[in-house]
Amino acid sequence: MMALVTIGSAFAAVMIWLALHANARFSGERRLPMQWWLNGEVTWYAPRRIALAFIPTLAIIVFALYVALSLTTKPRAGDEQLVIPAMLFMGFLFLGIQWLHLYLVRKTLDRNSG
């Protein structure tokens, strides 16, 4: 259980740091893109702070629910060893999603300013 909290906290800390760093980088923007069509056209924007906090907040909620679930529910027989790898997978997945979002935001803003 302590390992799950440590892993979740570490991923949350990295994601929060990335969001704060991006907030400083995009400080001149009032709104940031949140979703794109396949052709690269932005479908909707959100206020900068909400856009940057969305993925870390969602990840923290999912991590907390996963820890709570692991405390209240026993895994199926033979699956006990998968609890920590599943948390690692979710952490890296959320980190990858956040990185992709920040990359697409930067690419879109660079394209629109140039």
Number of domain units in the chain: 1
Residue pLDDT, tens place only, 55-75: 999 999 999 999 999 989 888
Residue 24: give the domain boundaries. Answer: 2-113
> What is the distance between the alpha carbons of residues 13 and 11, in angstroms, rounded to a whole number?
5
Output the pLDDT for position 112: 84
What pTM value is reported for the model? 0.91
Output the pLDDT for position 77: 85
Output the pLDDT for position 52: 97
Output the pLDDT for position 5: 94
* pLDDT tier for residue 114 given thresholds of 50, 70 and 90: low
> What is the distance between the alpha carbons of residues 103 and 109, in angstroms, rounded to a whole number?
10
DSSP 8-class letter at 113: H
